[in-house]
Amino acid sequence: MALDVRQAAPAPVRERPRRETTTAFVVSRIVVLSVAAAILLYAVPPLVATGSWVALGLLCAVSAAIVYLYLTRRFIPAKYLIPGTVFLIAFQVFPVVYTVTTAFTNFGDGHRGDKAAAVTAIETGSVRQAPGSPEYTLSVALRGEELVFLLVDPATKRVSLGTADGLTPLDGAKVGVTGKVLTAPGLTVLKAPEAAARGPEITALAVPTDDGVIKANGLSRAVEGKAALVYDAACDCVRGDGDTWTADESQGYFVNATGEHLAQGWQVNVGLDNFARVLTNPTISGYFAGVLGWNLAFALASVLGCFGLGMGVALALHHPRMRGTKIYRIVLILPYAMPAFAMLLVWRDMFNRDFGLINQLLGAEIDWLGQTGTARLGVILVNIWLGFPYMFLVTTGALQAIPRELTEAASIDGATPFKAFRRVTLPLLLVALTPLLISAFAYNFNNYNAIALTTDGGPFPADSPQVGSTDLLITYTFRLAFGAGGAQFGFAAAISVFIFAIVAVISTVAFRRTRKQEEVYA
Amino acid sequence: MTLRHGFVLVVCAFAVFPILFVLSAAINPMGTLASTELLPTGASLNNFANLLASDTYPFGRWFFNSVFIALVSSFASLLLSMFAAYAFSRMRFAGRRIGMMALLLIQMFPQFLAIVTIFMIFTEVTELYPAFGFNTVWGLLLLYLGGALGVNTWLMKGFLDTVPKELDEAATVDGATHAQIFWRVIMPLVTPILAVTALLAFIGVMSEFLMANVFLRDPESKTLAVGMFGMIAGDHRNANFGMFAAGTLITAVPTVGVFLWLQKYIVSGLTAGAVKG
């Protein structure tokens, strides 16, 4: 697929003249070295302090490679590519690769941490009041910055200080009529609103005792309780409540004999389970074809609509005798200059049946986004409105590169303006714009916001409330992955891989086909 | 010619229509969602005044943050992108084709999910280097530079391909280095596409919401997109609609300003005169 002539005809090999060392050469080398040194001086100490040796090694290796690259006279293309590539790898490639690896795990709600964290969560979550244990009156206080409990035993009126380290008797505290502590030496007793503001901290504090832990029950009461569920390392299981849950490393759950599992699990490798789920899930596969069809139509209509309209006005304005082009151009980029999310919400309001502007102007009572046909047309229209200024801008830019002599020559040869456009301007435009059109297609194929902020997938037919008629693959499947079952990142990542595969295949095929066409024109 | 004007005017009407709606909401003193009509009864600039004087929303600060981030990051990514486009267009090396295709493909992954990873990366960065961590302009700038090589590189490369190679060959014969050719020969010739790309990058950052929303939590560090989304999130939507509309309009001002500044470069058509035949 040799496409451009330059590559097909290799440049004549010429002996490169030996260059003497110029001032610019020396200065540029010094700048490179000092920038590298400055970055290392800044970045190394924190890594050493925290003992992140892998990161340190990586940093040094990358810096050394970059310094070498810019000191040597070789690898000229790499000198131009590396600056952008470093950022690309760090902030796009790495996150994407990492996301793809989570597709092989059960990462998500209930499976966020490791096993130890799950055991702790299960044990503390199962704390219940021990029979016959006292119910303390609780006051919350601060010791310096640390939150502590002041516990009054209602029977003996003795005051104890409870911290994360344990329970100690406290003397000299003044107890009020309600049983709450008013003042205590060396401590700042919090008033009710102050304590309420620290609710999560209060809930989290557990004061260990001989028989269990003391935890707050509301803001003014604390009870001593015991963990009903206890982890036993010997059998790798959790016991309690007359049942035993054994760790199942393939699911990342503690499971009992009847197959029920505890809510808290941990992250494990599940292999291809997520991918298998995407393929076998009846709610996905049952609607897949329909959603994919509309998704393709939406992306194509958006791209072609934007490109047609954008190129149309760009061509109309691209005429030496056209007047007022400056004003026109400003007006035309306005939709693009407004924040997209805001305008999506505004469009949704304009389509509203009861108070929407469009119905007001038409004097109609049409539920635009409530019916399949109008809702689909509506979201495409909104998307074209948002996107056509982009196409207008890039076409205007690309038109500058096409010498006017070419179109003039065509018209002298007797071509009609339409023919000149079809045979000369459009092919040349497409050379520069095909990648952008493909990229715009991929973007719109996954245009989550355009749907989520307008129809949110709706309208939903009564018989299948799962999938709406404007749902794209991404909005529909992400609703499944982040819906009722809690966030399932692993599952969502597997879905993303599938969607990526679909878009990438379509794009690559389209790209090759258009490139072949251009060869014909060229 | 009349036909051209007619067509452009129709498209302009389509472009402006929703913006007029926002404008009328912004000058409507009763600025709620339901009360908004195209022609409000009684106009005032109260919504603008409330917005700028608001204690809850540091709008001026947001505005400054947005413009600063957008200017710096669009300038930096323009440079990075232009470097890469020069290499892709003018040099032949192993992996060139694959590299270009990879640039296009990497953008096609649903980035929505990668946010989780980016959050984890920057949790680490915030601990090690607070100056580049969450709630800082610099960290967000680094993040945006990750997108510098992308479809804009393709756009520039396509444009560069149309600039005749004879120009830099002549310079090479005269003894110019690759760096001199880049700065002295290529850069002056590609101003139209530089201006277009700069504007695209500027607008992209101004309206970027997803990453900025994860990144900027502190009210003082927010950008316009993040701050204004907070204004209408939850139950505030109806009550703040007038102020929100005013903010939306103000957001467009810097973009239009940058466009006015760049417009003369966009349509300069320098290459047409640079080479004959």
Does residue A293 or residue A398 have the better pLDDT?
Answer: A293
Judged by CB atoms closer than 8 Å, whether chains meet at A322 and B81 is answered as: no
Residue A346 contacts B where some CB pair is shorter than 8 Å: yes
Judged by CB atoms closer than 8 Å, whether chains meet at B267 and A428 is answered as: no
Domain annotation covers residue A138: yes
Are A221 and A337 in a shared domain? Answer: no
Judged by CB atoms closer than 8 Å, whether chains meet at A47 and B260 is answered as: no
Which of A208, A233, A258 is the C-terminal boundary of a domain?
A233
pLDDT at residue B269 above 70? no
Mean pLDDT value of segment A155-176: 82
pLDDT digits (tens, 9 = 90+) for B100-126: 888 888 888 887 778 888 888 888 888
CA–CA separation, A450 vs A436, rounded Å? 19
CA–CA separation, A131 vs A57, rounded Å? 57
Judged by CB atoms closer than 8 Å, whether chains meet at A92 and B147 is answered as: yes
pLDDT of B41: 67
Domain annotation covers residue A144: yes
Are A161 and A66 in a shared domain? Answer: no
Mean pLDDT value of segment A155-181: 81
pLDDT digits (tens, 9 = 90+) for A214-273: 888 777 888 887 777 778 877 888 887 778 888 887 777 888 878 777 777 788 888 788
Non-local (6+) Cβ contacts of A330 within 8 A are B256, B259, B260
Query: Amino acid identity of B39?
Result: L
Lowest mean pLDDT among A125-134, A300-309, B220-229: A125-134
Non-local (6+) Cβ contacts of A186 within 8 A are A143
Domain annotation covers residue A161: yes
pLDDT at residue A106 above 50? yes
B112 to chain A: which residues are within 8 Å by CB? 446, 448, 474, 478, 496
Which of A204, A233, A262 is the C-terminal boundary of a domain?
A233
pLDDT of B31: 59
Closest-CA residue of B relative to A44 is B128
pLDDT at residue B46 above 50? yes
Look at chain A and report how many structural domains it folds into: 3
Domain annotation covers residue A428: yes
Judged by CB atoms closer than 8 Å, whether chains meet at A436 and B155 is answered as: yes
pLDDT at residue B18 above 60? yes
Are A363 and A434 in a shared domain? Answer: yes
pLDDT of B11: 92
Are A396 and A451 in a shared domain? Answer: yes
Does residue A354 or residue A460 have the better pLDDT?
Answer: A460
A95 to chain B: which residues are within 8 Å by CB? 114, 117-118, 121
Interface test with B, best of A87, A329, A453, A472 (most B CBs within 10 A): A87
Q: What is the largest CA-CA distance in chain B?
A: 71
pLDDT at residue A304 above 60? yes
A442 to chain B: which residues are within 8 Å by CB? 107-108
Are A368 and A426 in a shared domain? Answer: yes
pLDDT digits (tens, 9 = 90+) for B155-209: 888 888 877 788 888 888 887 888 888 888 888 888 888 888 888 889 888 888 8
pLDDT of B40: 65
pLDDT of A388: 94
Q: Which domain holds residue A197?
A: 128-233
The CB-side HSE value for A408 (13 A sphere, CA atoms) comes to 7
Closest-CA residue of B relative to A393 is B196
Share of chain A above pLDDT 70, in %: 94
Mean pLDDT value of segment A342-364: 82
Residues 257-316 of A with CB under 8 A from B: 309, 312-313, 316
Judged by CB atoms closer than 8 Å, whether chains meet at A435 and B147 is answered as: no
Are A373 and A478 in a shared domain? Answer: yes
For the whole model, what pTM was predicted? 0.79
pLDDT at residue A132 above 80? no
Judged by CB atoms closer than 8 Å, whether chains meet at B158 and A432 is answered as: yes
Local structure of B109: helix, strand or coil = coil
Count of beta carbons in the 10 Å neighbourhood of residue A374? 16
Are A399 and A339 in a shared domain? Answer: yes
Domain annotation covers residue A89: no
Are A327 and A418 in a shared domain? Answer: yes
Query: Where residue A187 sits, what CATH number does that domain have?
Result: 2.40.430.10
Query: Where residue A308 sits, what CATH number does that domain have?
Result: 1.10.3720.10
pLDDT of A367: 84
pLDDT digits (tens, 9 = 90+) for A15-32: 555 555 677 778 888 888
Long-range contacts of A257-266 (CB under 8 A, 24+ apart): A262/A122, A262/A229, A262/A238, A263/A110, A264/A110, A264/A118, A264/A121, A264/A122, A264/A125, A265/A106, A265/A110, A265/A111, A265/A118, A266/A111, A266/A113, A266/A114, A266/A115, A266/A117, A266/A118
Are A442 and A347 in a shared domain? Answer: yes
Are A295 and A405 in a shared domain? Answer: yes
For residue B113, give the nearest of A396, A405, A496 by CB distance. A496
Are A354 and A461 in a shared domain? Answer: yes
pLDDT at residue A376 above 90? yes
The DSSP bridge pattern shows strands A135-143 and A230-232 to be: unpaired
Domain annotation covers residue A304: yes
Which CA distances in Å does B149 have to A260, A375, A457, B60?
A: 49, 36, 32, 31
pLDDT at residue A75 above 70? yes
Closest-CA residue of A relative to B231 is A342
pLDDT of A6: 43
Domain annotation covers residue A465: yes
Local structure of A189: helix, strand or coil = strand
Judged by CB atoms closer than 8 Å, whether chains meet at A84 and B158 is answered as: no
Judged by CB atoms closer than 8 Å, whether chains meet at B107 and A443 is answered as: yes
pLDDT at residue A10 above 60? no
pLDDT at residue A386 above 90? yes
pLDDT of B39: 66
pLDDT of B236: 62
pLDDT of A298: 95
Domain annotation covers residue A162: yes
Are A357 and A447 in a shared domain? Answer: yes
